[in-house]
């Protein structure tokens, strides 16, 4: 069993070394983290790796030398049933447009906190070559509704107390109705 664990760890190490080699060779153009449940064969999230051998000298696009675009699209998608999710046409267009604006000359790309960020190879090295888009794009800023936390908690706990009281009342009614038809507990 220990040999198997060593083999798995060595396999992971080889995969990590391949990822680092792709980055150092400047082949990775973008990584897009997709939501889970998109595919019928697996429920886990997947990532798209967009590879490009000519990121620096292509006259049609801006130089993206030692730069990688990270897109975190894990929060996108709509459930179509209990086990499957689909990306809408608008969501797919958002992902594609973000990539195209980033790599074209004169593109109007601006990183969106919680969704996309262009990272230089030096920053990726600082993160020890972890290639999870969420690490780079960060967390979307929460919208402040202007209500102080203490006031929110007072309102929420008062509402919860009302719901608990209603729950107890409904439970008593159910017990009474079951008792009326001969099922008491």
Confidence check: pLDDT of 2 > 50: no
Q: Do 92 and 165 fall within a single domain?
A: no
DSSP codes, 71-106: EE-TT--EESSSS-EE--HHHHHHHHHHHHHHHBTT
Q: Do 167 and 130 fall within a single domain?
A: no
pTM: 0.69
**Which letter does DSSP use for residue 88 in this model?**
-
Q: Do 84 and 27 fall within a single domain?
A: yes
Give the other-Cβ count within 10 Å of 5's Cβ: 9
Q: Do 84 and 169 fall within a single domain?
A: no
Region 11-16: mean pLDDT is: 57
Q: Do 10 and 27 fall within a single domain?
A: yes
Per-residue confidence (pLDDT) for residue 3, from 0 to 100: 37
Q: Do 110 and 159 fall within a single domain?
A: no
Q: Do 85 and 150 fall within a single domain?
A: no
Q: Do 83 and 33 fall within a single domain?
A: yes
Q: Do 30 and 85 fall within a single domain?
A: yes
Give the range of the structural domain holding residue 24, as residue numbers without chain letter: 2-137
Per-residue confidence (pLDDT) for residue 14, from 0 to 100: 53
Query: Which of 22-26, 51-55, 83-87, 150-154 has the weakest average pLDDT?
Result: 22-26
Q: How many domains does the structure of the chain reveal?
A: 2
Q: Do 105 and 170 fall within a single domain?
A: no
Q: Do 25 and 65 fall within a single domain?
A: yes
Q: Do 50 and 103 fall within a single domain?
A: yes
Cα 121 to Cα 66: distance, rounded to the nearest angstrom: 5
């Amino acid at each position: 069993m220990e040999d198997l664990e060593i083999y798995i760890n060595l396999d992971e190490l080889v995969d990590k070394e391949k990822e680092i080699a792709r980055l150092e060779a400047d082949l990775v153009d973008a990584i897009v983290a997709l939501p889970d449940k998109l595919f019928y064969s697996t429920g886990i999230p997947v990532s798209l790796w967009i590879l490009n051998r000519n990121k620096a000298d292509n006259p049609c696009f801006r130089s993206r030398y030692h730069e990688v675009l990270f897109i975190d699209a894990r929060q996108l998608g709509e459930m179509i049933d209990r086990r499957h999710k689909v990306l809408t046409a608008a969501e797919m267009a958002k992902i594609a447009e973000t990539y195209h604006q980033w790599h074209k000359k004169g593109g109007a790309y601006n990183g969106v906190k919680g969704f996309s960020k262009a990272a230089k190879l030096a920053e990726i090295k600082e993160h020890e070559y972890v290639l999870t888009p969420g690490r780079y794009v960060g967390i979307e800023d929460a919208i402040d509704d202007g209500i102080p936390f203490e006031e929110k908690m007072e309102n929420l706990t008062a509402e919860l107390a009302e719901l608990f009281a209603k729950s107890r009342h409904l439970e008593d009614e159910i017990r009474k109705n079951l008792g009326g038809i001969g099922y008491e507990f």
